[in-house]
Chain A
Amino acid sequence: MAAATTPVRKVEWGVANVVVIALALIPVLWMVSLSFKTPAAILDPTFIPTGWTWSNYHDILSTGQFVHPLLNSIGIGLIATFIAVVLASMAAYAVARLNFPGKAVLIGMALLIAMFPAISLVTPLFTILRAIGLYNTWPGLIIPYVAFGLPLGIYTLSAFFREIPWELEKAAKVDGATPFQAFVRVIAPLAAPGMVTTSILVFLACWNEFLFAISFTSTIASRTAPASLAYFSGASTFTVPTGPISAAAVVITIPIIIFVLFFQRRIVAGLTSGAVKG
């Protein structure tokens, strides 16, 4: 019964595919459309702009109110991702390879944090960050982002680490390498693909984060791009900032979409490795 290959079936699946793709794309195309609309065209609910303009992009990219937060997002995201992946790969190596008491506690703790309601931390962290002078600074966001990136990193990486051919490590030890040397020289290069995947997932989580970003920042000195959208007033105080906000939304979205599509195999493998094999 080769049902899936009959022409009628093919058409049915094809239609379903087209529907899924349309549902995924239409809200994105709507944002792109809004970002190109002239102020007059914005008041016209057609999907395709009746008047086109680049001015929304020109406005947001010529103001520090958006460009500075964009740079903050990139900087904070990269630093937090780097630290989280380095610390997570050390812990994941221990989880996947070594026998030590307390392993179950570590796993339980990572799980607890993965499920943690972030709002429960906002009040105390807000108070603590103000007390130690990290409120409205890069480290004030990087530290919580690292903490929330760690569980994701530990899960994904320990799933990847279990797939690595460990005989090579033993061979290195026979050749006189210490466990640490075996880790750095032999295992780390083999683990690189898993680490790239994990980095992507952690970076996406940091890039998307909003609650901490609006709670622990007060100026563009450390405000990230998603948070800046909420404080956007447009180029002039007299215009409703629909166009500029849409343009800013497209600017922070499109590179990520391209990035996601480019690394789609890795991302799918990373997302599912922890949940299914774990």
Chain B
Amino acid sequence: MSTSTEVAAGAAAEQRPAGHKRQLSEGARAERRLGWLLCAPAVIVMIAVTAYPVAYAVWLSLERYNLELPQNIKFVGLANYGAVLSSPYWWNALKVTLIITVFSVTISLVLGMLLALLMHKTIFGRGSVRTAALIPYGIVTVAAAYGWQYAWTPSQGYLSALFNDSAPLTKQVTAIAVIILAEIWKTTPFMGLLLLAGLSLVPEDLQKAAMVDGASGWQRFWRITVPLMKPAILVALLFRTLDSFRIFDNIYILTGGNNGTGSVSILGWDNLFIALNLGIGSAISILIFICVAIIAFIFIKGFGTAAPGSAIGKR
């Protein structure tokens, strides 16, 4: 918050008699009203589209509700959760999602760091690298996914041809590897750009001083660059992890979730649009929401990730 208005508000408060100290000045009250007024439309839309539907999903998840049997709706308590949590489909989908998340986030962090260092250090061609890096970011995920699918189709794709006419999308392990590859290609530039912004905050003098003291490039990277960039790295990791956990587009196009490659989002979608089971689908939605909350909690409490925006609140 700007100091000027605080000072003004403070001065106004001081002029009042002691008994009315808690009362807000006319200006502060107007400011308060304007603040609420300006935020109201955004808040209403966000609540209408997220908070209310989530509450509704909680209610749906407690019902037996199949769109094909609309007469058969019945309150069943936690039975849907029991059915999901005792189903091997849920645990396989969760395992696949976690594998994809861990590998794609870790690899794109390493590659993103290399990309950020390259963009930071390179003398000529800096603009062209950044330009090229923005291409995977800007591309429509679904369009890119078709490109990858065709590239790995035997007797059609150049990548399949390079690897002995293999058909990786028909086997679980290789299909997951292809999905991870597609994710990494798409998200590394975003990671690189976020890390580049963090990298530019590392003071050049500190690097020079360490260089004079005889620190090698490797030592400087681990002892100076990484610790100073820790907040930027953690924020990038938090966002990428949550984003990756929601993976849907790439799997939907590449494998459709066949051969045990479905993520939790694919499982939830199938239960709604193929099984038409709103009760089970809602229970899966709520379980995914809980997983995401746990991941965010681990990052913010466990690693001390500063939630982006927390600084805004303090201002």
Residues of A within 8 A of B (CB): 1, 4-5, 10, 13-14, 16-17, 20-21, 23-25, 27-28, 30-31, 34, 42-47, 87-88, 90-91, 93-104, 106-128, 143-144, 146-148, 150-151, 154-155, 158, 162, 166, 170, 179-180, 204, 207-208, 210-211, 214-215, 225-227, 229-230, 242, 245-246, 248-250, 252-253, 256-257, 259-261, 264, 267-268, 271-272, 274-278
Contact = CB atoms under 8 A, between A and B. Distances in A.
A144 B53 CA distance: 11
B133 interface: yes
Interface in B162-218: 185, 189-190, 193-194, 196-198, 201, 211
Contacts of A158: 312
Contact of B42 (A10, A91, A98): A91
Contact of A94 (B38, B193, B296): B38
9 nearest interchain CB pairs? A100-B35, A147-B49, A260-B138, A272-B197, A249-B143, A124-B53, A45-B161, A98-B35, A120-B285
Given A106-B42, A230-B253, 10 more contacts: A24-B135, A25-B135, A107-B310, A119-B268, A120-B289, A147-B49, A211-B269, A227-B142, A249-B143, A261-B131
A246 B146 CA distance: 7
A213 B143 CA distance: 14
Contact of A215 (B136, B269, B286): B269
Interface stretch (B12-20, B101-109, B119-127): B119-127
A260 B135 contact: yes
Contacts of A24: 132-133, 135-136, 189
A126 B143 CA distance: 25
A248 B147 CA distance: 11
B121 A98 contact: no
Interface string B272-286: 110000100110111
B90 interface: no
Classify chain B: how many residues form its interface, as a range. Answer: 35 or more
Most B Cβ at <10 Å: residue of A24, A109, A267: A24
Contacts of A264: 130-131, 134
Given A25-B132, A45-B156, A126-B272, A30 B147 contact: yes
Contacts of A43: 155-156
Contact of B39 (A106, A119, A151, A260): A106
Interface in B71-120: 115, 118
Contacts of B242: 115, 117
Contact of B185 (A27, A94, A108, A259): A27
Contact of B49 (A144, A180, A215): A144
Most B Cβ at <10 Å: residue of A34, A108, A253, A275: A275
B309 A155 contact: yes
Given A27-B185, A109-B46, A14 B288 contact: no
B142 to A, nearest CB: 4
A242 B153 CA distance: 11
A103 B32 CA distance: 10
23 contacts: A10-B124, A31-B143, A46-B158, A91-B43, A94-B35, A94-B36, A95-B39, A98-B31, A98-B34, A108-B309, A110-B309, A114-B239, A120-B288, A122-B268, A123-B281, A124-B60, A125-B53, A127-B278, A143-B48, A170-B4, A215-B269, A226-B142, A249-B144
Contacts of B265: 117-119, 211
B50 A276 contact: no
A179 B133 CA distance: 42
A41 to B, nearest CB: 10
B129 interface: yes
B260 interface: no
Contacts of A272: 193-194, 196-197
